[in-house]
Amino acid sequence: MTTSTAEQRVVVLDFGAQYGQLIARRVRDLHVYSEIVPCDITAEELKALHPSAIILSGGPASVYADDAPDMDENIFALGVPVLGFCYGEQMMATKLGGHVAHTDAGEYGPATLKRIADSELLAHTPEDGQTVWMSHRDAVDAVPEGFVVTARTENCAIAAYECAERRLYATQFHPEVRHTECGTTILSNFLFEICGLTPNWTMEGIIEEKVSEIRERVGSDRVILALSGGVDSSVTAALVHRAVGDQLTCVFVNHGMLRAGEPESVERVFREEFDMPLVHVHAEERYARLLAGVTDPEKKRRIIGREFWKVFFEEAEKLDGVKYLAQGTIYPDIIESGARKTGGKASTIKSHHNLIPFPEGVHFDLIEPLDHFFKDEVRALGTALGLPDEMVYRQPFPGPGLAIRIIGEITEERLTMLKAADLVVREELDAYNQRLYEETGERNSEHSCWQYFAVLPDIRSVGVMGDERTYGRTIVLRAVESSDAMTADWAKIPYDVLGRISSRVVGEVPGVNRVVYDITPKPPATIEWE
Residue 147 vs 397, nearer CB to ligand XMP: 397
The yes or no reply on residue 301 touching ligand XMP (CB under 6 A) is yes
Q: Phi and psi for 126 in degrees, rounded to 5? A: -60, 145
Shortest CB 459 distance to ligand XMP, Å:
20
Q: Is 396 in the site for ligand XMP (CB under 6 A)?
A: yes
Residue 482 assigned as binding residue: no
Nearer to ligand XMP, 440 or 526 (CB): 526
CB atoms under 10 Å from CB of 393, counted, come to: 17
Annotated active-site residue 107? The verdict is: no
Nearest to 161 by CA among 173, 174, 147, 175: 147
Q: Is 527 in the site for ligand XMP (CB under 6 A)?
A: yes
- ∠ CA 196-202-208, nearest 5°, is 115
Query: From CA 61, how far away is CA 46, in angstroms rounded?
Result: 23
Any binding-site annotation on 232?
A: yes
β-pair type (34-38, 148-152) = unpaired
Residue 418 CB neighbours (<10 A): 26
353 lines the binding site for ligand XMP (CB under 6 A): no
- Based on CB atoms, which residue is closest to ligand XMP, 301 or 443? 301
Contact in structure between 13 and 71 (CB atoms under 8 Å): yes
CB of 14 or CB of 368, closer to ligand XMP: 368
Residues 507-526 that bind ligand XMP (CB under 6 A): 522, 526
One of 43, 366, 485, 497 touching ligand XMP (CB under 6 A): 485
Q: Is 82 annotated as a binding residue?
A: no
For ligand XMP, the closer of residues 382 and 398 by Cβ is: 398
Q: Which amino acid is at 307?
A: E
By CB under 6 A, tell whether 399 contacts ligand XMP: yes
Q: What are phi and psi of 503, to 5 degrees?
A: -70, -35
CB of 303 to ligand XMP, least distance (A): 12
Task: Report the alpha-carbon distance of residue 530 to residue 328 in Å, rounded.
Answer: 25
Minimum CB separation from ligand XMP for residue 348, in Å?
Answer: 25
Instruction: Output the CA–CA distances (angstroms, integers) from residue 7 to 51, 118, 189, 210, in the order listed.
Output: 9, 31, 19, 14
Amino acid at 221: D
Determine the longest span between alpha carbons in the chain, in angstroms: 88
233 annotated as ligand-binding = yes
Count of residues near ligand XMP by CB under 6 A = 11
Cα angle 125, 127, 133; round to 5: 65
CB of 401 to ligand XMP, least distance (A): 9
Q: Provide, rounded to whole angstroms, the least separation between the CB of residue 364 and ligand XMP.
A: 22
DSSP-assigned letter for residue 33: -
User: Rounded CA gap, 507 and 465, in Å?
Assistant: 10
Catalytic residue among 89, 136, 156, 174: 174
From 206-214, 363-371, 396-404, 436-444, give the range in contact with ligand XMP by CB under 6 A: 396-404
For ligand XMP, the closer CB: 390 or 484? 484
Would you count residue 451 as binding ligand XMP (CB under 6 A)? Answer: yes
Give me the least distance between CB of 399 and ligand XMP, in Å please: 4
Q: What are the start-end ranges of the E strands in 363-450? A: 365-367
Q: Is 86 tagged catalytic?
A: yes
Catalytic residue numbers? 86, 174, 176
- Residues annotated in the binding site for ATP, as ranges? 228-234
- Residues annotated in the binding site, as ranges? 228-234
Residues making contact with ligand XMP (CB under 6 A):
301, 396, 398-400, 451, 485, 522, 526-528
